[in-house]
Amino acid sequence: MAISELKLPSGVQACPHDDAEQLAQALAVRVADALRQAIVSRGQATLVVSGGRSPVPFFEALAQQDVPWAQVLVSLADERWVPINHAGSNEALVRRHLLRGPAAEARFLSLYQVAGNLEQAAELADAAVAELAPIDVLVLGMGDDGHTASLFPHSPNLQQALQPDCVRRVLPMLAPSEPAQRLTLTQPVLASARLPLLAIQGQAKLNILSAALQPGEASELPIRAFLNSPLEIHWCS
Ligand SMILES: O=C(O)[C@H](O)[C@@H](O)[C@H](O)[C@H](O)COP(=O)(O)O
């Protein structure tokens, strides 16, 4: 199956790419163009990205793009509740692969907070990201279980986090995989994005996307809450 075979909702655009390298390059050009346009319109741009393994080539391609990085605020859709020197830190991933060279001039807004427990860290992060929305460019990934950001199926707080009127910007979340303790932006913040992009690779994730396009509960496949207009889905096999 290819993404062009999926029946996508109106305003959800399929963007197929030949391979991971071409996807990363095309996404970097798309994001850089949107950041430049936001800066021309509003004097600054906010970019929120996801962690994981697959964004690294995209981060490195974006770091090469000609963007007025000093006018860009970068943050994360989610973070593992680990310090920056931990292997699972999304902040470390972004600082290592994106915020280098000219892109090092961008401002970074951390989700990670030192606190006595995950809930306290989420409350501190909630206050720390007050300036984040509306997001100009959001880049989401998706797990093989249909999670996005750290919105994991059947996780405590998931229903609250997916509410369009959720008053929290950041909630604590438990992932089925280590590091389990997570901090995630909630649906209202993520849905504020002027340009939401979903980047996924492989047939397994396309099958999950196909399932998420069928009627059902977002609690089973949280990505469901984001498959609406406007959205570009960038995919390669
Ligand atoms: O912290 C994280 O891991 C990400 O924010 C997470 O939501 C990621 O986007 C998916 O797990 C997909 O990860 P891959 O793209 O590496 O498969």
Probe target for ligand 1 pocket from 23, 27, 54, with the most ligand atoms within 8 Å of CB:
54
Probe target for ligand 1 pocket from 23, 48, 50, 82, with the most ligand atoms within 8 Å of CB:
50
Closest of 81, 169, 161, 92 to residue 131, by C-alpha: 169
Indicate whether 1 pLDDT > 90: no
- How far does residue 175's CA lie from ligand 1's centre (Å)? 11
Indicate whether 174 pLDDT > 90: yes
Protein residue with least CA distance to atom 9, ligand 1: 141
Taking the C-alpha atoms of residue 56 and residue 236, their distance in angstroms, rounded to an integer, is: 15
87: left (phi over 0), alpha (psi -120 to 50) or beta: alpha
How far CA 63 is from CA of 11, 31, 75, 95, 207, in Å, comes to 29, 11, 15, 10, 31
Task: Report the atom number in ligand 1 closest to the C-alpha of 200.
Answer: 15
Angle at 220 (CA atoms; ends 215, 225), nearest 5 degrees: 65
- How far does residue 147's CA lie from ligand 1's centre (Å)? 8
Residue-wise burial string across 27-40, b where 16 or more C-beta atoms lie within 10 A, e elsewhere: bbebbbebbbebbe
Task: Report the atom number in ligand 1 closest to the C-alpha of 76.
Answer: 5
The mean pLDDT value of the chain amounts to 97
pLDDT tens digits for range 113-146: 999 999 999 999 999 999 998 999 999 999 999 9
Closest of 115, 148, 111 to residue 126, by C-alpha: 111
* pTM score of the predicted model: 0.98
Taking the C-alpha atoms of residue 147 and residue 50, their distance in angstroms, rounded to an integer, is: 12
Taking the C-alpha atoms of residue 215 and residue 30, their distance in angstroms, rounded to an integer, is: 30
Task: Report the atom number in ligand 1 closest to the C-alpha of 141.
Answer: 9
Report whether 234 contacts 61 (CB < 8 A).
no
Instruction: Give all strands (DSSP E) within 32-180, no chain letters.
Output: 45-49, 72-76, 78-80, 107-108, 137-140, 170-174
- How far does residue 41's CA lie from ligand 1's centre (Å)? 31
Which residues' Cβ are closer than 6 Å to ligand 1?
50-54, 77-78, 90, 141-143, 147-149
Question: How much of the chain, in percent, has pLDDT values that exceed 70?
Answer: 100
